[in-house]
């Protein structure tokens, strides 16, 4: 099995190092990740300049681009093979509900998915970052499962793991995305040159966090596994839109 690993926290982050180590017994692991923290980069491709790929002493490739750039470059030119699976993470912090729209962790996996490869985004659902080992174990288990039992259709899984020791994990639950309240207000700052600067605030608290959501599973100590799709069509509004256009 050939496994492509990426992330959005940067190639030097503890999450990606532990993830690569955990996956190594399962096959050939190649890491291609951003050279710096690109959290919040979403599905952005760099189109206005060429990108460079360099190799760190530990063998990881790093790119002066986005998470999406990394997976795109890896699959379409850097590697001389098509990976069997793309695993992105382990993100330092949750990617649940609306986070998935902005997340570079999810975006790296989404790029694999869009290129036809089964892909998994893995996040440790806490900024404390105490138990990356739990998330690494879950990533391993899911990749093993894909080897043993292929999903059978194109798949993009968004996985959030509670930040507790492995024995305290409460099992896996298939979930839907919850929703967050709107983000906290932007923070206004004065620059040394007297300009007002704006610093985007943190994500809002969970709004829809009821049973069946990713928030609910993680809150109750279970690993959340959400199958995502990239088709943004508002399928439930097609008829309404047609009716509106006929007015
Ligand atoms: Mn991140």
Q: What is the CA radius of gyration of the chain?
A: 19
How far, in Å, from the CA of 38 to the mean position of ligand 1?
Answer: 7
Residue at 172 is within a domain: yes
What is the C-alpha separation between 37 and 112, in angstroms, rounded?
Answer: 20
How far, in Å, from the CA of 70 to the mean position of ligand 1?
Answer: 14
Domain total in the chain = 1
Chain position carrying tokens 């930040």: 163
Residue at 200 is within a domain: no
Report the Cα–Cα distance between both ends of the chain, in Å, rounded.
Answer: 55
How far, in Å, from the CA of 25 to the mean position of ligand 1?
Answer: 25
How much is the pLDDT for 182? 86
CATH number at residue 239: 3.40.1210.10
Q: Do residues 226 and 158 touch, judged by C-beta distance below 8 A?
A: yes
How much is the pLDDT for 62? 98
How far, in Å, from the CA of 15 to the mean position of ligand 1?
Answer: 10
Q: What's the domain range around 104?
A: 2-179+207-245
Residue at 201 is within a domain: no
Residue at 34 is within a domain: yes
Instruction: Calculate the alpha carbon distances from 200 to 40, 45, 132 in Å.
Output: 11, 22, 27
Reply yes or no on whether the pLDDT at 191 is more than 90.
yes
How far, in Å, from the CA of 93 to the mean position of ligand 1?
Answer: 7
How far, in Å, from the CA of 84 to the mean position of ligand 1?
Answer: 24
Query: 44-48, 139-143, 204-208: lowest mean pLDDT where?
Result: 204-208
Q: Which helix (H) or strand (E) holds 172?
A: strand 172-174
Residues with Cβ < 8 Å from 214, sequence gap 6 or more?
Answer: 96, 97, 158, 160, 175, 176, 177, 178, 224, 226
Reply yes or no on whether the pLDDT at 6 is more than 90.
yes
What is the C-alpha separation between 148 and 4, in angstroms, rounded?
Answer: 18
Residue at 202 is within a domain: no
Residue at 199 is within a domain: no
How far, in Å, from the CA of 147 to the mean position of ligand 1?
Answer: 27
Q: And the tokens for 181?
A: 């309240």
List the beta bridge partners of residue 158: 121, 226
Residue at 78 is within a domain: yes
What is the mean predicted confidence (pLDDT) over 133-147?
Answer: 98
How far, in Å, from the CA of 86 to the mean position of ligand 1?
Answer: 16
How far, in Å, from the CA of 80 to the mean position of ligand 1?
Answer: 28
Reply yes or no on whether the pLDDT at 59 is more than 90.
yes
Report the largest interatomic distance among the alpha carbons of the chain, rounded to a whole angstrom: 64
Q: Which of 155, 43, 32 is nearest to 100 (CA)?
A: 43
Q: By CB neighbour count within 10 A (0-12 exposed, 13-18 middle, 19+ buried), where does 16 fall?
A: buried
Residue at 193 is within a domain: no
How far, in Å, from the CA of 133 to the mean position of ligand 1?
Answer: 17
How far, in Å, from the CA of 103 to the mean position of ligand 1?
Answer: 7
List the beta bridge partners of residue 29: 3
The pLDDT tens digits of the residues spanning 77-92 come to 999 999 999 999 999 9
Within 13 Å and on the Cβ side, how many CA atoms surround 129? 12
Q: Give ion ligand 1 contacts, CB < 5 A.
A: 8-9, 39, 91
How far, in Å, from the CA of 121 to the mean position of ligand 1?
Answer: 11
How far, in Å, from the CA of 68 to the mean position of ligand 1?
Answer: 13
Residues with Cβ < 8 Å from 175, sequence gap 6 or more?
Answer: 212, 213, 214, 216, 217, 224, 225, 226
Torsion-angle region of 59 (φ positive above 0: left; ψ -120 to 50: alpha; else: beta): left
How far, in Å, from the CA of 194 to the mean position of ligand 1?
Answer: 31
How far, in Å, from the CA of 244 to the mean position of ligand 1?
Answer: 40
How much is the pLDDT for 203? 87
- pTM score, two decimals? 0.96
């Amino acid at each position: 099995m050939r496994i492509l690993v990426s992330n959005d926290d940067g190639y030097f982050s503890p999450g990606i190092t532990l993830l690569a180590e955990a996956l190594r017994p399962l096959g050939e692991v190649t890491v291609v990740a951003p050279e710096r923290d690109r959290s919040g980069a979403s599905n952005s491709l760099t189109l206005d300049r060429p990108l460079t790929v360099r190799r760190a002493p530990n063998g990881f490739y790093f790119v002066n681009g986005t998470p999406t750039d990394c997976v795109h470059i890896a699959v379409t030119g850097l590697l001389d093979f098509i990976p069997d699976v793309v695993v992105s993470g382990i993100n330092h912090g949750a990617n649940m509900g609306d986070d998935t729209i902005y997340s570079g962790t999810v975006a790296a996996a989404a790029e694999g998915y869009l290129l036809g490869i089964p892909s998994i985004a893995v996040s440790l659902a806490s900024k404390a970052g105490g138990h990356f080992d739990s998330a690494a174990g879950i990533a391993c288990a899911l990749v093993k499962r894909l080897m043993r039992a292929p999903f059978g259709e194109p798949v993009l899984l968004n996985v959030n793991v509670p930040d507790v020791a492995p024995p305290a994990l409460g099992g896996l639950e298939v979930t839907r995305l919850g929703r967050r309240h709107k983000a906290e207000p932007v923070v206004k700052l004065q620059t040394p040159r007297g300009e007002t600067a704006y610093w985007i605030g943190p994500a809002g608290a969970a709004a829809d966090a009821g049973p069946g959501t990713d928030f609910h599973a993680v809150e109750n100590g279970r690993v959340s596994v959400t199958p995502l799709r990239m088709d943004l069509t508002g399928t439930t509004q097609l008829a309404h839109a047609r009716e509106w256009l006929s007015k």
